[in-house]
Structure 1
């Protein structure tokens, strides 16, 4: 793990020197980080934007995006633990420990995915079985009766409308539909 961090820091030093000679202006570390992290962040954003748009078209898009997000957080968490072990000397800082931790997350997620997939498949199978055993005919779409549009403005009833005509009492519910 220490060797890996040493290699990464050496690579960053070389990039730092190359950028300063390429731009031709001596930049402080803050200015260099501003540009490098800004550019890498935007490239990452655009790549992830395209990836998420593709994932949205898939059936379990929320699960896939949640897994990717959780995996990224686990990578940060695992390396933070390893760096903390190096700083406090409470353990050995090894890359193999980080890989083992990430494998733990992947294995637990696979177990979850298998169990969730089994429940999902069972649910779909039971719903499919109910549909195929029923001998119901498909319902015909009912035509909605158009109702007269009522005005939102209150109008006084005319004398003719005040007269109530005698009607036969309604005996059956089917009479209401007439």
Structure 2
């Protein structure tokens, strides 16, 4: 886990330096705060545009899917924060497996929830269809 964080940090640092070099070649002089302002604005708007399109499409089918995406995103942040906190405070072991198992726990229980919802939906639909067929059969036998 520590190796993964170090690799990620090195990649981000190298990308940061490359962007600064590119901007300086263009004759612009930006400090670190200005670079973060611009970069995060671009990344944030790209993520917003993607999620806007995705969530509009998903809303036609299921709000549950949108809720799941939001929840899993928050869960990823939480499990990473817990592991980083463990590393910083030396209370527990910082391990990628802990992140994976934490997210697996949520997905497992969520799968049970979805199964129960689908089962209830199927039962309600079957009951409604049986009730409709019984009603139609009763109408055919009547004379006017």
TM (norm. structure 1) is 0.72
Corresponding residue of 1:36: 39
Structure 1 counterpart SS, 2:78: helix
| Pairwise CA distance, 1:136 | 3.6
Distance 2:124 2:67 in 1: 23
Corresponding residue of 1:114: 115
Corresponding residue of 2:130: 129
Q: Structure 2 regions of 5+ residues with no counterpart?
A: none
Distance 2:50 2:39 in 1: 17
Q: Structure 1 regions of 5+ residues with no counterpart?
A: 138-178
Structure 2 counterpart SS, 1:93: coil
- The runs of at least 4 consecutive aligned structure 1 residues that moved more than 2 Å come to 25-29
Within-5 A mapping of 1:1-178: 1-24=1-24, 25-58=28-61, 61-134=62-135, 135-136=138-139
Corresponding residue of 1:172: none
Distance 2:31 2:87 in 1: 28
Distance 2:117 2:132 in 1: 23
Distance 1:79 1:66 in 2: 20
Distance 1:64 1:131 in 2: 30
Corresponding residue of 1:145: none
- Kindly indicate which of the two structures has a greater share of residues assigned to helix: 2
Q: Output one character per residue of 1:76-102: Cα deviation in whole Å (capped at 9) or x when no partner.
A: 110010011011111111111101110
TM (norm. structure 2) is 0.88
Report how many residues are paired: 135
